[in-house]
Chains A and B, each alone.
Chain A
Amino acid sequence: MNYNWDWGTLLREPYLGWLWSGLGWTVLVSLGSWAIALAVGITAGVARSMHSRFIPQVAGVYIQVFRNIPPLVQLFLWYFVFPEVAPESVGLWIKRDLPNPEYITAIVGIGLFSGARVAEQVRAGVAAVGIHLMPAALATGLRPLQAFRLILLPLGLRAIFGPLTSEFLITVKLSSISLTIGMLELTAQSRHIENYTFHGLEAFAVATAVYLLIGLAVTALMRAIDRHFGAARFKRAQP
Chain B
Amino acid sequence: MKRHVIRLLGAACAVAAVSTAAAQEIDGVIKKLQATNTITVGYRETLLPTSYLDDDKKPTGYAIEMCLRILDEVKAELKLPQIQVNYVPVNIQNRQALVANGTVNLECGGTVITFARNKQVDFSPVSYVAASQLLVLKASRISKLEDLNGKIVAVATGGSSEPELKHIIETYKLKVRVLNVDDHAAGLIAVESRRADAYFNDNAAFFSLIKQSKNSSNLAVVGPEFGYSPQGFMVPKNNPTFLWLVNHAMGKMIKSGEAEKIFDKWFGPFGVKVSPKLRAAWETFSYPE
- A-side residues, CB < 8 A to B, are 1-2, 80, 83-84, 92, 95-96, 101-102, 179-180, 182-184, 188, 191-192, 194-198
Contact = CB atoms under 8 A, between A and B. Distances in A.
A40 B202 CA distance: 44
Interface stretch (B5-13, B17-25, B261-269): B17-25
A15 B101 CA distance: 25
A92 B100 contact: no
B154 to A, nearest CB: 8
Q: Which of A83, A179, A188, A195 has the most CB of B within 10 A?
A: A195
A184 B20 contact: no
Report the 6 A-B pairs with minimum CB-CB distance, sorted nearest first: A195-B158, A182-B180, A1-B101, A95-B195, A192-B158, A192-B157
B159 A182 contact: no
Contact of B159 (A83, A194, A195): A195
15 contacts: A1-B19, A1-B20, A1-B100, A2-B20, A80-B189, A95-B195, A96-B152, A102-B179, A182-B181, A182-B186, A183-B180, A191-B157, A191-B158, A195-B159, A196-B158
B12 to A, nearest CB: 13
B195 A96 contact: yes
Given A1-B101, A198-B120, A83 B193 contact: yes
B193 A1 contact: no
Contacts of A196: 116, 158
A88 to B, nearest CB: 10
B157 A195 contact: yes
B168 interface: no
A188 B100 contact: no
A192 B96 CA distance: 15
Interface string B174-202: 00000111100010010001110000000
Interface string B9-38: 000000010011001100000000000000
Given A2-B20, A184-B157, A196-B158, A95 B182 contact: no
B23 A1 contact: yes
Contacts of A179: 182
B18 to A, nearest CB: 12
Contacts of A183: 180
A162 to B, nearest CB: 31
Nearest to A94: B195
Contacts of B120: 2, 198
Nearest to A99: B177
A57 to B, nearest CB: 35
Contact of A198 (B16, B117, B189, B195): B117
Given A1-B16, A83-B193, A182-B179, 10 more contacts: A2-B120, A95-B194, A182-B180, A183-B180, A188-B180, A191-B157, A192-B157, A195-B158, A196-B116, A198-B116
A194 B20 CA distance: 21
A200 to B, nearest CB: 9
Contacts of B20: 1-2
Contacts of A195: 157-159
A190 B146 CA distance: 32
B157 A188 contact: yes
Given A1-B20, A2-B20, A83-B193, A198 B158 contact: no
B79 to A, nearest CB: 31
Contacts of B116: 196-198
A2 B24 CA distance: 8
A12 to B, nearest CB: 13
A95 to B, nearest CB: 4
A95 B157 contact: no
Contacts of A84: 193
B111 to A, nearest CB: 12
Interface in B85-104: 96-97, 100-101
A2 B157 contact: no
A180 B194 CA distance: 18
B193 A95 contact: yes
Nearest to B158: A195
Contacts of B23: 1-2
A144 B243 CA distance: 80
Interface string B244-281: 00000000000000000000000000000000000000
